[in-house]
Amino acid sequence: MNFPLLSAIVLVPALAALAVAVLPRSRDDVVRVVGVVATLAVLALTVVLVVEFDTADAGFQFVSRHRWINDFGIDWALGVDGISLWLVALTAVLFPIALLGAGPTRDVKSFTAWILVLEAACLGSFLALDLFLFFVCFEIVLVPMYFLIAGWGYENRVYAALKFFIYTLAGSAFLLVGMLSLVFLHRAATGDLTFDLATLGESTAIAASTGRWLFLAFTIAFAVKVPLFPLHTWLPDAHTEAPTAGSVILAGVMLKLGTYGILRFSVFLFPKAAVDLAPLLLTLAVIGMVYGAIVATMQADLKRLVAYSSVAHLGFIVLGTFAFTSQGMTGGVVQMVNHGLSTGALFLLVGMIYQRRHTRQIAELGGLQKPAPVLAAVFLVVMLSSIGVPALNGFVGEFLVLAGTFVTHRWWAVVGVSAVILAALYLLWAYQRVFHGEPEGDNATMRDMDWREGLVMAPLLVLIVGLGVYPKPMLDRIEPSVARLVQHVQDRGDLKTPTVEAPQPDPAPGAEP
């Protein structure tokens, strides 16, 4: 296909942001339309991408490569494989929903422009095949999010925005140093100055000990973004103070930049170091899963509770990644998408409650199921998906992660399973306190979900049920790319642990049909 699909996906929101920027401030209506149309256009392009995607091809597809900065060997290089495909799709789904479901109440123009810049940068990060291009996009993401939190957030927004910005920027400094070291060490060894991901990944120029340091530099930057325990404390603040749309994008898309970065860059570029340091990361992941859940139980603020649940859920993804089995890694990728859908939906719902009740304090809510049965029912389904009840999306990822981890790192998986119990505890307890009981005061007269809000939630619910019942189309596209990455790690990382025995066809058919 000659149409530069991926470039279009990245550039449509960027150009739309420019268009919004030049529109007059008085034309809020036009601005809104431009924003929604642009995000929906990206969604449409992404649907084409998913449909045209070749399931059999494990490598990068739709590659588009143009020389950007010749002197430094930097390319505008985009490509998609089974791992990034679904993150692009997730981004494309969540942005229009965030705009439609939690649009701005004031200063529409700036809000929409920042959202569009954010979308372009997120998509660029997921699609970049050039380290420099990735770094640029990865950093740009911070700017619009900073302004979204600081401009449209709640009471403590300035503190939260600054903390978010400085914390993640500090992480990025490691990434910058690591990236430049890698590139120049590579040039010193081969004489070839390039930022190309594939070339660097296949390179053998980096000594194992150096690789370990570089792995750590990359991984610290990503771990802040994930966030991996104990680097997580910016998250509850940022989540709580961000406007609803910001929280949806932050949890749904931006955290995945961290887990995606680990998968795409840390593990791919430094497989040996990844294997050597896997126990450390697995341990932090498991601690995060259990710790996030325990801390979530005690939160008095509904948004903070959801934020800590993210810490727990993102731990699953890191666990699956460093299990280095095809099941674990596939589960990790699936979990990235599922967490985006479930947590995005949860933030939208919490936003709806806040909009009506002007509080997020669990103690001030109660009995909401009586005046708002539809809202309660939607919340329930999303909650069950987040808990990981099978036949909804969350289960597939969790099960694959834990099963894949159990094969190679048994005891980490055993501890991880306890997070499954705790997830039920904190979410059901919160649900009970918010929705059950006899409603009093303003709670008794709270407005139920209207059709417009229902329309915004509907696609999320369809995906939550659809991906839980029939995840095969998604898994079929993820698995070849993951298998390739696992193979890469095994070949280059001296992985000694036996991988999972793939289920062979039954040697004795007819034993029990």
Partner 1 sequence: MLDAAVLIPALPLTGFVILVVLGRRLGDPVAGWVATAAVGGSFLATLATWQGLLEREGEHRSVTTTLFSWIPSLNVDVAILVDPLSITMALFVTGVGTLIHLYAIGYMRGDRRFPTFFVYLNLFVLAMLTLVLADSYLVMFVGWEGVGACSYLLISFWFERNSAAVAGKKAFVTNRIGDAGLLLAMFLLFGGVGSLTYGEVFSRAGGLTTTTATAVVLLLLVGACGKSAQLPLFVWLPDAMEGPTPVSALIHAATMVTAGVYLMARSSPLLELAPDAMTVIAIVGVATAFFAATVACAQDDIKRVLAYSTISQLGFMFLAIGTGAYVAALFHMITHAFFKALLFLGAGSVIHGLHHEQDMKRMGGLRRLMPITGATFIIGWLAIAGVPPFAGFWSKDEILLAAWNKSPVLWAVGLVTAVMTAYYMSRQVYLVFFGDRRRAGVDEAHAGDDDDAHDEAHDVHESPATMWVPLVVLAGLSMVAGVMNLPFSHRFLVLERWLEPALAPHEAAHTATGTKIGLAIVPAVLVVLAILFARRWITRPSGDGLEPAFLRRAWGIDALYAAVIDSPGRAFAAWSAFVVDRRVIDGAVNGVGAAVREGGGRLRAVQTGYVRNYALGISFGVVALLGWMLFRAGP
Structure tokens given for 470: 């029939």
- Please provide the size of the chain in residues: 513
Q: What is the DSSP string of 36-49?
A: HHHHHHHHHHHHHH
Contact status: 223 vs partner 1 (CB under 8 A): no
Q: How far is the CB of 62 from partner 1 (least distance, A)?
A: 24
How far apart (Å, rounded) are the C-alpha atoms in residues 485 and 266? 12
Closest CB 438 distance from partner 1, rounded Å:
5
CA atoms lying within 13 Å on the CB side of residue 456: 26
Which residues inside 437-496 make contact with partner 1, applying CB under 8 A? 437-438, 470-472, 475-476, 479
Instruction: Name the residue nearer to partner 1 (CB basis): 50 or 424.
Output: 424
- Among 55, 361, 432, 445, the residue binding partner 1 under the rule CB under 8 A is 432
Which window, 14-22, 76-84, 102-110, 420-428, contacts partner 1 (CB under 8 A)? Answer: 420-428
Q: Which is nearer to partner 1, 60 or 412 (CB)?
A: 412
Q: Does 56 bind partner 1 (CB under 8 A)?
A: no
Selected range binding partner 1 among 28-36, 60-68, 363-371, 455-463, rule: CB under 8 A: 363-371
Residue 336 makes contact with partner 1 by CB under 8 A: no
**Could you say whether residue 330 binds partner 1 (CB under 8 A)?**
yes
State the minimum distance, in angstroms, from the CB of residue 511 to partner 1. 4
CB 391 → partner 1: shortest distance, Å?
Answer: 5
d(CA 271, CA 491): 9
The number of CA neighbours under 13 Å toward the Cβ of 282 is 27
Whether the upstream peptide bond of residue 473 has omega within 30° of 0, thus cis, is no
Among 435, 477, 484, 495, binds partner 1 (CB under 8 A): 435
Question: Which of 37, 158, 207, 417 touches partner 1 (CB under 8 A)?
Answer: 417
**Alpha carbon distance, N-terminus to C-terminus of the chain:** 45
- Distances in Å between the alpha carbon of 240 and those of 315, 324, 354, 366? 20, 34, 12, 20
Binding range to partner 1, per CB under 8 A, among 193-201, 266-274, 402-410, 454-462: 402-410
Quote the DSSP letter at residue 65.
Answer: E
Distance between CA atoms of residues 284 and 305, nearest Å:
20
Q: Which one of 72-80, 214-222, 257-265, 322-330 is the stretch in contact with partner 1 (CB under 8 A)?
A: 322-330
Name the minimum Å distance from CB 475 to partner 1. 6
Q: Which is nearer to partner 1, 155 or 512 (CB)?
A: 512
Per-residue burial over 437-448, b = 16 or more CB atoms within 10 Å of its CB, e = otherwise: eebeeebeebee
Binding mask 137-176 for partner 1 (x = CB under 8 A): --------------------------x--xx---------
Binding mask 273-292 for partner 1 (x = CB under 8 A): ------------------x-
Q: What letter does residue 510 receive in the DSSP assignment?
A: T
Q: Decide whether 39 or 327 has the Cβ nearer to partner 1.
A: 327
Site for partner 1, residues 226 to 245, rule: CB under 8 A: 230, 232-234
* Contacts of residue 312, Cβ cutoff 8 Å, sequence gap at least 6: 288, 289, 290, 291, 292, 293, 296, 419, 422, 423
Nearer to partner 1, 256 or 409 (CB): 409
Between 281 and 392, CB nearer to partner 1 = 392
| Rounded CA separation 63/85 (Å) | 13
Kind and range of the H or E run holding 170: helix 157-190
CB contact at 8 A, 211 and 273: yes
Contact between residue 329 and residue 259 where contact means Cβ atoms under 8 Å apart: no
Stretch that binds partner 1, among 26-34, 42-50, 270-278, 499-507 (CB under 8 A): 499-507
Q: Is 298 in the site for partner 1 (CB under 8 A)?
A: yes
Backbone conformation region of residue 107, classed left if phi is above 0, alpha if psi is from -120 to 50, else beta: left
Interaxial angle between packed helices 208-225 and 157-190, expressed in degrees from 0 to 180 and rounded to the nearest 10: 160
- Contact between 420 and partner 1 per CB under 8 A: yes
* Binding window for partner 1 (CB under 8 A); candidates: 54-62, 70-78, 256-264, 418-426: 418-426
**Binding-site residue total for partner 1 (CB under 8 A)?**
64
- Tell me whether residue 358 is exposed, middle or buried, using C-beta atoms within 10 angstroms of its C-beta: 0 to 12, 13 to 18, 19 or more: exposed
- Judge contact between 480 and 82, C-beta under 8 A: yes
| Phi, then psi, of 508 in degrees rounded to 5 | -120, 80
Options 187, 370, 442, 454; binder of partner 1; rule CB under 8 A: 370
Stretch that binds partner 1, among 76-84, 179-187, 240-248, 425-433 (CB under 8 A): 425-433
Binding interface with partner 1 (CB under 8 A):
163, 166-167, 230, 232-234, 291, 294-295, 297-299, 326-327, 330, 367, 369-370, 373, 380, 384, 389-391, 395-396, 399-400, 402-403, 406-407, 413-414, 417-418, 420-421, 424-425, 428-429, 432, 435-438, 470-472, 475-476, 479, 500-504, 506, 508, 511-513
